[in-house]
């Protein structure tokens, strides 16, 4: 295996890296990739089923099959170039793929018998280090315990970083920006303003505009305070020019949404995006109690039941347990999803209290209407569907991978609005972090699109107990 070339590294991939990202084979640039035989065995055991992991394993198998097409044993021993016809962006990739051909005779500690898959991988890494002392060999794994054991044995190890959207989740686009106090003074005396369709607009310029994004929210406190949306950005020879649209004040009782008013600035930003038909996808992040689900559901009910802008509301979420799995759930799709949709039921109680006028008949009619227009669907059966004129709410989106988010969002047909809710600090899925979550991925990729909007809700509005607990626990 001729890998002793200057500047080249050899990366040994753990099975969970391939299960997490099938494209990981092609993400090591000019460097070489090594697959121990036990990795292929584990992939073979995990290829069956309809889960995301099983689909990823099958995709890796297809990549390997294409890479090995028309290759004989001699070619494989020399290393297979990591280039395939179906990937157009890997033309300059000079890395090669190597497989394990022989058992690695290496002395392992008595506490680490070699019959376990992870220990077999460690044995492969130690043997390669002995055979190629001049080559930097790195074991790449999403398994923290395996990385700890590798470090103890003197094997250089790393997490798989290529799936990270950002180096630090704190760098995630917030969706809003406070303007400097002298903002209007910076604009000079020739501020262009106008009114159209009962909306007020301002055309502004300056260096701060260069960092703005479409549908970003800007605000100014004090006597000259205002809240606005960046509705348009125009390229200019020196600096960009932005058009600001003054927002509807949903904190006022005259602009309530299904009886709900914004309790803080960020909630007002969220309601403006949710009620705007020109924004096709809205992402709302925030800790528990900030009102994400309540705002999304209230806006959906107004636009579905009163304005008839959408045919129905569809709610779904990733079914990831916080604690022990409760096992098999009988019933229809909606009945199986009901235990996961406690947030929906809680917020429906707030939006449609049982003490409403009309008595028992009125409550029954309201519940029947809501049941006909609000559907609960499982994300597991989204593939292949197309939603037309639907208001789709995806709750707990932080638990989805970028690939799962793509699968869901590409289901949107004409007239559909997608609302993604979540808290990237509260991820329950293994191998997903704040910086690699599908929700982080969507926020970052859509921030420059003129039909998307994003906001991070800052303040909890649940109760003083919940707010205090969030601060100290």
Predicted pLDDT at 157: 93
Predicted pLDDT at 323: 43
Q: What is the pTM of this model?
A: 0.76
Q: Which residue in 302, 435, 427, 270 sits closest to 374, CA to CA? A: 302
pLDDT tops 80 at residue 236: no
Q: In this predicted structure, which of 89-93, 185-189, 280-284, 322-326 has the lowest mean pLDDT?
A: 322-326
Q: Where are the alpha helices (DSSP H) in 82-165?
A: 117-131, 144-152
Q: Which residues contact 303 (CB under 8 A, 6 or more apart)?
A: 275, 309, 310, 391
Q: Tell me: the pLDDT tens digits for 111-153?
A: 676 678 888 899 889 889 888 888 899 999 988 899 999 999 8
What is the spatial distance between Cα 150 and Cα 126, in angstroms, rounded to a whole number?
A: 9
Q: Tell me: the pLDDT tens digits for 94-104?
A: 688 999 877 76
CB atoms within 10 A of CB 109: 11
* More confident position, 2 or 244: 244
pLDDT tops 70 at residue 105: no
Task: Tell me the average pLDDT across 9-22.
Answer: 90
pLDDT tops 80 at residue 270: yes
pLDDT tops 80 at residue 220: yes
Half-sphere exposure of 164 (CA within 13 A, CB side): 15
Predicted pLDDT at 469: 78
Task: Tell me the average pLDDT across 347-372.
Answer: 63
Predicted pLDDT at 365: 52
The mean of the pLDDT values for the chain is 82
* More confident position, 459 or 256: 256
């Amino acid at each position: 295996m001729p890998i002793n070339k200057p500047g080249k590294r050899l990366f040994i991939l753990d099975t969970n890296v391939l299960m997490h990202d099938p494209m990981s084979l092609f993400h090591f640039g000019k460097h070489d990739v090594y697959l121990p035989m036990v990795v292929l065995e584990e992939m073979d055991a995990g290829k069956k089923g309809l889960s995301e992991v099983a689909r990823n394993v099958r995709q890796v198998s297809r990549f390997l099959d294409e890479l090995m097409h028309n290759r004989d044993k001699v070619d494989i021993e020399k290393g297979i170039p990591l280039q395939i016809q179906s990937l157009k962006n890997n033309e300059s990739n000079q890395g090669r793929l190597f497989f394990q051909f022989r058992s690695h005779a290496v002395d392992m500690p008595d506490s680490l018998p070699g019959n376990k898959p992870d220990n077999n991988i460690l044995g492969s890494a130690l043997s390669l280090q002995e055979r190629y002392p001049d080559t930097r060999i790195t074991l790449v794994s999403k398994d923290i315990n395996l990385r700890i054991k590798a470090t103890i044995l003197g094997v250089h190890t790393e997490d798989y970083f290529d799936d990270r959207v950002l180096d630090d989740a704190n760098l995630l686009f917030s969706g809003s920006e406070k303007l400097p106090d002298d903002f209007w003074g910076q604009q000079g005396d020739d501020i262009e303003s106008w009114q159209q369709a009962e909306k007020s607009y301002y055309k502004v310029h300056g260096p701060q505009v260069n960092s703005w994004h479409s549908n970003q929210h800007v605000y100014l406190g004090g006597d000259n305070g205002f809240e606005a949306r960046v509705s348009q950005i125009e390229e200019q020879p020196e600096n960009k020019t932005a058009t600001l649209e003054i927002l509807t004040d949903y904190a006022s009782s005259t602009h309530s949404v299904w009886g709900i008013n914004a309790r803080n600035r960020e909630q007002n930003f969220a309601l403006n995006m949710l009620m705007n038909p020109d924004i096709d996808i809205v992402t709302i992040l925030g800790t528990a109690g900030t009102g994400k689900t309540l705002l999304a559901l209230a806006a959906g009910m107004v636009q579905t039941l009163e304005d008839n802008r959408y045919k129905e509301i569809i709610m779904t979420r990733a079914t990831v347990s916080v604690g022990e799995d409760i096992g098999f759930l009988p019933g229809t799709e909606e009945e199986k999803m009901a235990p996961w949709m406690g947030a929906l039921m809680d917020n429906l109680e707030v939006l449609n209290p049982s003490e409403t006028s009309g008595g028992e008949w009125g409550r029954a009619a309201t519940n029947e209407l809501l049941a006909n227009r609000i559907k609960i669907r499982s994300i597991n059966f989204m593939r292949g569907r197309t939603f037309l004129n639907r208001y789709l709410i995806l709750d707990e989106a932080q638990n989805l991978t970028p690939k799962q988010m793509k699968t869901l969002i590409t289901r949107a047909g004409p007239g559909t609005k997608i609302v993604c809710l979540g808290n990237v600090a509260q991820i329950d899925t293994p191998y997903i972090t704040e910086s690699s979550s599908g929700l982080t991925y969507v926020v970052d990729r859509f921030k420059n699109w003129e039909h998307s909007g994003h906001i991070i809700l800052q303040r909890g509005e649940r109760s003083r107990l919940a707010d205090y607990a969030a601060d100290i626990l």
